[in-house]
């Protein structure tokens, strides 16, 4: 059987991700950096489900990411010391908020939609920022840490070992991206592509466009809040800036940088962005200018992204 | 109690006038060029800091006249070098670009003028209270309201009476036709961008006198401006003005009763408006 390039790329990506903790130190990284890449890649890929495959621009995904972060932190700190329970609370909080806000904005299109997502995203930031007694306000929510996962027959010590935690992230990442890939290959996913390519035509074919966009938005926000729960575990901390608009912008630039028409694009984008940010912020006080300049350069010189350029011949 | 409510009502009106001034500039650019200018807050900060630097040389009034103008010049340069490339492309790209610019401008002001809060002095006779009973009625606040009213009136006069304004309004409705009629659309967009940034710079000088100078002054003010535009209705400048005043007053009155919710309440208001009237209070149906 001949192996297609796509299949080969998939095998390569999974091989890299599965073995990363064993070689990342040799190339100057560290295991938590690998976990960070995976977590933010999951967030960017979730955003890209909406952005790249439904053609809807959201600039406010940090809100649902942040709800995952705070869902996890607050659960472990105040309710039950359990990572699994925290994950459940985080994704339910993110999805519930997305459901309500989605209903309000699903009829808007284009820039108007983007602006509404930006503005609504800020509500949760202000709640986290102002509700000192519960969320810790500007100082963030600390005084808790991730909990080992009870498998019944053994405990998975994600607290004691960075490597064990990396594999917990990988399990969540694999589950989430597997579901998203399956959805995109289903008739539902094809319908989303049809909406992206020509919304008016899709509507004339009898597709309930608003409902599909709402569903795509929900799926996207659900997985971005899952990424949020992982981010909370990674830092053992919840920071109000995790749900601010600059975080949303980071997700969008990761998707664009990697190539938003390719399934794995945001993963590549996240890897480049995270490594660069890690390096620049350790070198200079003015990392904000560098990140800003990076945004400008990507937009001006690199709008199709890494995988977009590689795919150019077959993209039509 | 009455005095407290009056105080916050008045305060809200000032803040609202302020949001409106900023949001009008954003709206101008958005309507004609389809660009959401995330860097608007950054330009506001530049305007404020330029005024701070100029005051020792030309005084408050000189700074008020010159700083917004210089800010607009910077805006024109940015438009010609960067933003112009992105017209007609997916709005995603202009959003990302101005987002990056916002970072650069904020960090740039921090680099040049330092991270600490700087005092910005307004003339003495403007900063003293006018009446001992209504202590909050300082001359500066009244002056601010007056200036915003004047600026808004001037803007609407330009738009309704001058050739440039007429072209901007026509371009907002149908840019292609305006272009076919022989108007240089590139120049029109550049001038319009400059006009929008001028308003941001003006808002910056006023903000400096009221809030003091911080590098984050712009990013704190930009979100309410977005809300003002959505509440008022995309595509409508009177709507933006109304939206700004409304959210300012709402936030002001909320401060009396639930101080900690004064920021969040405007988003709740936006949610209600979108629920009842998705196009915004004065927005046209089907434009966005």
Pairing of strands A155-156, A149-150: antiparallel
For residue A3, is it within any domain?
no
Smallest Cβ–Cβ distance between A292 and the set B103, B227, B260 belongs to B103
pLDDT of residue A315: 42
Tell whether B93 lies on the interface with A, counting CB pairs under 8 A.
yes
Smallest Cβ–Cβ distance between B96 and the set A246, A252, A289 belongs to A252
For A96, how many CA atoms within 13 A lie in the half-sphere containing its CB? 10
Average predicted confidence (pLDDT) for chain A: 88
Which chain A residue shows the shortest CA-CA distance from B78? A296
Region B76-104 average pLDDT: 90
Q: What percent of chain A has pLDDT over 90?
A: 47
pLDDT of residue A40: 96
Report how far residue B11's alpha carbon sits from residue B159's, in angstroms, rounded to the nearest whole number: 29
Region B30-38 average pLDDT: 88
On the question of pLDDT at A3 being above 80, the answer is no
Tell whether A119 lies on the interface with B, counting CB pairs under 8 A.
yes
Which chain A residue shows the shortest CA-CA distance from B91? A111
> Can you list the positions of beta strands (E) in chain A?
149-150, 155-156
Region B279-284 average pLDDT: 83
For residue A213, is it within any domain?
yes
Tell whether A288 lies on the interface with B, counting CB pairs under 8 A.
yes
Report how far residue A127's alpha carbon sits from residue A270's, in angstroms, rounded to the nearest whole number: 28
pLDDT of residue B130: 64
For residue A201, is it within any domain?
yes
Which chain B residue shows the shortest CA-CA distance from A132? B260
For residue A6, is it within any domain?
no
On the question of pLDDT at B210 being above 70, the answer is yes
The CA distance from B276 to the nearest CA of chain A, in Å, is: 9
Could you give the number of structural domains in chain B?
1
For residue A25, is it within any domain?
no
| CB A295, CB B100: distance < 8 Å | yes
CA B225 to mean position of chain CA atoms: 7
For residue B116, is it within any domain?
yes
pLDDT of residue A288: 84
For residue B181, is it within any domain?
yes
- Tell me the residue range of the domain where A86 lies: 30-246
For residue B48, is it within any domain?
yes
Q: Which residues from chain B sit within 8 angstroms of residue A59, using beta carbons? A: 95
- Tell me the residue range of the domain where B143 lies: 20-218
Burial class for B182, CB neighbours closer than 10 Å (0-12, 13-18, 19+)? exposed
Report how far residue B62's alpha carbon sits from residue A20's, in angstroms, rounded to the nearest whole number: 61
For residue A162, is it within any domain?
yes
The CA distance from B263 to the nearest CA of chain A, in Å, is: 7
On the question of pLDDT at B74 being above 90, the answer is yes
pLDDT of residue A314: 47
For residue B288, is it within any domain?
no
The CA distance from B102 to the nearest CA of chain A, in Å, is: 7
Are A51 and B288 an interchain contact pair (Cβ–Cβ within 8 Å)? no
For residue A303, is it within any domain?
no
Region A272-276 average pLDDT: 91
Are A119 and B226 an interchain contact pair (Cβ–Cβ within 8 Å)? yes
Integer CA distances (angstroms), A237 to A9, A82, A153, A207, A229, in order:
35, 15, 29, 43, 11
pLDDT of residue B133: 62
Are B271 and A104 an interchain contact pair (Cβ–Cβ within 8 Å)? yes
For residue B61, is it within any domain?
yes
Residue A88: Cβ within 10 Å count: 15
pLDDT-derived band at A88, boundaries 50, 70, 90: very high
Interface contacts (A, B; CB < 8 Å): 120
Report angle CA A62, A64, A66 to the nearest 5 degrees: 65
| CB B218, CB B41: distance < 8 Å | yes
| CB A226, CB A86: distance < 8 Å | no
Which chain B residue shows the shortest CA-CA distance from A137? B260
Best CA proximity match to A259, nearest among A245, A240, A272: A272
pLDDT of residue A316: 40
Tell whether B263 lies on the interface with A, counting CB pairs under 8 A.
yes
pLDDT in tens, A195-233: 999 989 999 999 999 999 999 999 999 999 999 999 999
pLDDT in tens, B102-130: 999 999 999 999 888 888 777 776 666 66
Are B91 and A57 an interchain contact pair (Cβ–Cβ within 8 Å)? yes
Residues 57-76 of A with CB under 8 A from B: 57, 59
Residues 11-70 of B with CB under 8 A from A: 30, 34, 36
Could you give the number of structural domains in chain A?
1
Radius of gyration from C-alpha coordinates of chain A: 19
Residues near A6 by beta carbon (within 8 Å), at least 6 away in sequence: none
The CA distance from A255 to the nearest CA of chain B, in Å, is: 11
Report how far residue A290's alpha carbon sits from residue B91's, in angstroms, rounded to the nearest whole number: 23
Interface predicted TM-score of the whole assembly (ipTM), two decimals:
0.86
| CB A152, CB A161: distance < 8 Å | no
Residues pairing with A238 in the sheet: A141
Q: Which residues from chain A sit within 8 angstroms of residue B34, using beta carbons? A: 111
Tell whether A108 lies on the interface with B, counting CB pairs under 8 A.
yes
Region A142-161 average pLDDT: 78
Best CA proximity match to B205, nearest among B27, B14, B93, B52: B52
For residue A4, is it within any domain?
no
């Amino acid at each position: 059987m001949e192996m297609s390039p796509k299949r080969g790329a998939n095998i390569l990506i999974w091989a890299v991700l599965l073995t990363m903790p064993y070689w990342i130190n040799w190339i100057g990284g560290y295991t938590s950096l690998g976990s960070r890449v995976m977590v933010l890649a999951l967030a960017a890929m979730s955003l890209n489900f909406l952005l790249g495959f439904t053609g809807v621009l959201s600039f406010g995904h940090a809100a649902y990411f942040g709800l995952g972060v705070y869902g996890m932190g607050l659960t472990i700190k105040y309710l039950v010391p359990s990572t699994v329970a925290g994950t459940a609370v985080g994704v339910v909080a993110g999805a519930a908020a997305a459901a309500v806000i989605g209903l309000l904005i699903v009829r808007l299109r284009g820039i108007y939609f983007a602006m509404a997502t930006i503005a609504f995203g800020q509500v949760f930031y202000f709640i986290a920022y102002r509700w000192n007694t519960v969320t810790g306000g500007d100082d963030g929510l600390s005084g808790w840490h991730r909990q080992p996962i009870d498998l019944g027959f053994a405990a998975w010590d994600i607290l004691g070992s960075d490597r064990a935690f990396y594999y917990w992230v990988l399990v969540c990442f694999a589950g989430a991206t597997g579901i998203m890939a399956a959805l995109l290959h289903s008739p539902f996913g094809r319908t989303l592509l049809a909406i992206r390519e020509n919304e008016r035509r899709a509507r004339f074919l009898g597709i309930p466009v608003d409902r599909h966009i709402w569903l795509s938005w929900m799926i996207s926000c659900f997985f971005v809040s899952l990424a949020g729960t992982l981010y909370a575990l990674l830092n053992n901390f919840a920071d109000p800036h995790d749900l601010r608009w600059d975080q949303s912008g980071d997700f969008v630039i990761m998707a664009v940088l990697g190539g938003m028409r390719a399934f794995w694009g945001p993963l590549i984008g996240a890897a480049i962005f995270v490594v660069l940010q890690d390096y620049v912020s350790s070198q200079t006080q003015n990392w904000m200018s560098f990140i800003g300049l990076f945004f400008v350069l990507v937009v001006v010189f690199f709008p199709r992204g890494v995988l977009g350029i590689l795919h150019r011949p077959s993209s039509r | 109690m009455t005095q407290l409510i009056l105080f916050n009502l008045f305060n809200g009106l000032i803040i609202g006038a302020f949001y409106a001034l900023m949001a009008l500039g954003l709206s101008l650019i958005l309507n004609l060029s389809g660009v959401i200018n995330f860097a608007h807050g950054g330009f506001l900060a530049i305007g404020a800091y330029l005024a701070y630097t100029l005051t020792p040389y030309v005084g408050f009034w000189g700074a008020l006249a010159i700083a917004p103008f210089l800010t607009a010049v910077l805006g024109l340069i940015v438009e010609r070098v960067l933003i112009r490339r992105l017209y007609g492309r997916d709005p995603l790209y202009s959003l990302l670009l101005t987002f990056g610019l916002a970072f650069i401008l904020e960090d740039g002001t921090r680099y040049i003028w330092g991270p600490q809060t700087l005092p910005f002095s307004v003339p003495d006779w403007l900063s003293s209270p006018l009446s001992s009973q209504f202590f909050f009625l300082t001359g500066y606040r009244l002056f601010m309201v007056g200036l915003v009213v004047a600026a808004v009136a001037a803007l609407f006069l330009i738009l309704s009476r001058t050739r440039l304004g007429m072209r901007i309004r026509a371009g907002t409705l149908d840019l292609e036709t305006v272009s076919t009629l022989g108007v240089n659309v590139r120049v029109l967009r550049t001038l319009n961008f400059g006009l929008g940034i001028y308003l941001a710079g003006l808002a910056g000088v006023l903000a400096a006198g009221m809030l003091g100078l911080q590098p984050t002054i712009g990013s704190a003010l930009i979100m309410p401006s977005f809300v003002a535009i959505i509440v008022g209705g995309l595509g409508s400048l009177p709507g933006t003005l109304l939206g700004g005043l409304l959210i300012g007053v709402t936030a002001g009155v909320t401060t009396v009763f639930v101080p900690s919710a004064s920021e969040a309440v405007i988003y709740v208001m936006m949610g209600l408006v979108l629920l009842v009237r998705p196009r915004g209070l004065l927005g046209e149906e089907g434009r966005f």
